[in-house]
């Protein structure tokens, strides 16, 4: 691999831009192609389709065998609530390959000491999500247990088409939430996408166990919507 | 970037760049094709330096040893190689994939 290709690739990945490393398996030459770069003909179409699916693989190009290694931006997890569960969920999600962002306006919880090395916003979701909006490559877990903080973020995630939206709380709590969100104008279909009570039903009790249950559902949602990113 | 942490820093391509900058010789192995129940998808990397240090993976650990041995030659000669691993492929390679799949791994030198 050309060292310049590796450097450029790592730069693109750090900037959350999609890129393909195209390697000629015959002579070993490689080049980097960014999403939106002009590539003519059949090869251009094959590459565009790879960008869409996120799947790496071999492209037959005339006599040559080209390997397209697709690097899509890694999925994000926005955690609303810098609570005890978040202290377990944030590092676990990072290990699983997610870019983690933590949002909580309560400065008692959202301290750099509790979340060293993490992207932490001690702001209301209304404000924090303005600088970095949610998108289809983002999952959202609302775990403050406080409707004043959670509800806006949940609505925003459903509107943005986040691939996963989960909300902490019992069935009773969720029923009240459904009423509020309906009143706020969200459709039954949108509300039906909320994973609540949050997480895979494994009888999780401790914060660490609940984090495992949440992360399991996030990964399931990511992988069932098609490959996004390839580690 | 802060000091790398071996547990949380699972990014083998960032590791490859760091090793290169530190003046180490590096080979990159890439899964380019899979058949059946292969443990790692196409595009997965194993990064190897001339000392045999590893980052990333191309299988569940079944063929990494053989890839490292090939990578040493690739680092020395600079010539890329294509390796085939399958189950019960004892004549060609001493190792196979216990899961029953088959993979093709491309090994090249960085630089």
- Tell me: the pLDDT tens digits for A121-168? 999 999 999 988 898 889 999 999 999 999 999 999 999 999 999 999
CA A141 – CA A226 distance, rounded (Å): 20
pLDDT tens across A61-83, in order?
999 999 999 998 889 999 999 99
- Domain spans in chain A, listed from the N-terminal domain onward: 3-71, 76-224
CA B60 – CA A167 distance, rounded (Å): 34
CA A10 – CA A19 distance, rounded (Å): 10
Lowest mean pLDDT among A127-131, A195-199, B91-95: B91-95
Residue B7 lies in a domain: no
Q: How confident is the model at residue B95 (pLDDT cuts 50, 70, 90)?
A: low
Smallest CA–CA distance, residue B28 to chain A, in Å, is 8
Domain A76-224: CATH superfamily, name plus number: NAD(P)-binding Rossmann-like Domain (3.40.50.720)
pLDDT at A225 over 70: no
For residue A229, the model assigns a pLDDT of 41
Cα of B21 vs its chain's centroid, Å: 20
Cα of A142 vs its chain's centroid, Å: 14
Residue B5 lies in a domain: no
pLDDT at B101 over 90: no
Give the closest of B7, B20, B43 to A70, CB-based.
B43
For residue B27, the model assigns a pLDDT of 98
Residue B6 lies in a domain: no
Average pLDDT of the segment spanning A87-104: 96
Indicate yes or no: CB of B33 within 8 angstroms of CB of A91: no
Indicate yes or no: CB of A57 within 8 angstroms of CB of B13: no
| Long-range Cβ pairs for the range B90-95 (8 Å, 24+) | B93/B63, B93/B66, B94/B66, B95/B62, B95/B63, B95/B65, B95/B66
Indicate yes or no: CB of B43 within 8 angstroms of CB of A56: yes
Q: What is the CB neighbour count within 10 angstroms for residue B94?
A: 11
For residue B99, the model assigns a pLDDT of 63
Q: How confident is the model at residue B60 (pLDDT cuts 50, 70, 90)?
A: confident
Backbone φ and ψ for A132, nearest 5 degrees, come out as -135, 90
pLDDT at A53 over 50: yes
For residue B77, the model assigns a pLDDT of 97
Smallest CA–CA distance, residue A173 to chain B, in Å, is 36
A68 to A17, A199, A231: CA distances (angstroms): 16, 35, 15
Which among A125, A130, A128 has a CA at the least distance from the CA of A155?
Answer: A125
- Bridge partners (DSSP) of residue A121 are A103
Indicate yes or no: CB of A25 within 8 angstroms of CB of B41: no
Percentage of chain A lying above the pLDDT 70 cut: 97
CA angle B16, A44, A48 (to 5 degrees): 70
For residue B3, the model assigns a pLDDT of 59
Q: How many helices (H) and strands (E) does chain A have?
A: 8, 9
Going by their DSSP bridges, the two strands B81-86 and B102-109 should be labelled as antiparallel
pLDDT at A29 over 70: yes
Lowest mean pLDDT among A149-153, B41-45, B98-102: B98-102
Which residues of B are less than 8 Å from A226 in CB distance? Answer: none
pLDDT at A22 over 50: yes
Q: How many domains does chain B have?
A: 1
DSSP assignment of B89-105 equals -TTT-S---TTS-EEEE
Range(s) of the domain holding residue B20: 12-109
For residue A226, the model assigns a pLDDT of 46
Higher pLDDT, A63 or B90: A63
CA A54 – CA B8 distance, rounded (Å): 24
Percentage of chain A lying above the pLDDT 90 cut: 85
């Amino acid at each position: 691999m050309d060292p310049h290709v590796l450097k450029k690739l790592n730069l693109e990945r750090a900037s959350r831009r999609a890129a393909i490393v195209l390697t000629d398996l015959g002579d070993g030459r490689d080049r980097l192609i960014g999403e939106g770069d002009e590539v003519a003909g059949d090869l251009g179409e094959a590459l565009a389709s790879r960008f869409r699916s996120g799947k790496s693989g071999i492209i037959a190009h005339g006599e040559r065998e080209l390997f397209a290694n697709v690097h899509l931006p890694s999925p994000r997890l926005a955690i609303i609530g810098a609570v005890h569960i978040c202290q377990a969920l944030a590092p676990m999600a990072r290990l699983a390959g997610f870019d983690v962002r933590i949002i909580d306006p309560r400065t008692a919880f959202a301290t750099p000491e509790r979340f060293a090395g993490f992207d932490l916003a001690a702001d209301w979701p209304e404000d924090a999500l303005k600088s970095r909006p949610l998108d289809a490559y983002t999952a959202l877990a609302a775990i403050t247990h406080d409707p004043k903080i959670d509800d806006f973020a949940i609505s925003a995630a459903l509107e943005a088409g986040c691939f996963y939206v989960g909300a902490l709380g019992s069935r009773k709590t969720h029923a009240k939430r459904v009423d509020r969100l309906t009143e706020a104008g969200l459709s039954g279909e949108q509300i039906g996408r909320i994973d609540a009570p949050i997480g895979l039903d494994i009888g999780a009790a401790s914060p660490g166990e609940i984090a495992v249950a949440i992360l399991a559902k996030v990964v399931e949602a990511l992988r069932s919507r098609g490959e996004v990113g390839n580690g | 970037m802060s000091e790398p942490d071996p547990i949380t820093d699972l990014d083998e391509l960032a590791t490859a760049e760091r090793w290169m900058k530190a003046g180490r010789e590096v080979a990159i192995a890439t899964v380019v094709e899979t058949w059946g129940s292969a443990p790692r998808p196409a595009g997965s990397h194993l990064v190897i330096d001339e000392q045999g240090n590893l980052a990333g993976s191309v299988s569940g650990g079944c063929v990494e040893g053989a890839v490292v041995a090939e990578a040493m030659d690739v680092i020395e000669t600079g010539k890329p190689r294509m390796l085939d691993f399958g189950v019960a492929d004892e004549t060609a390679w001493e190792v196979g994939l216990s899961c029953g799949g088959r993979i093709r791994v491309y090994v090249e030198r960085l630089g």
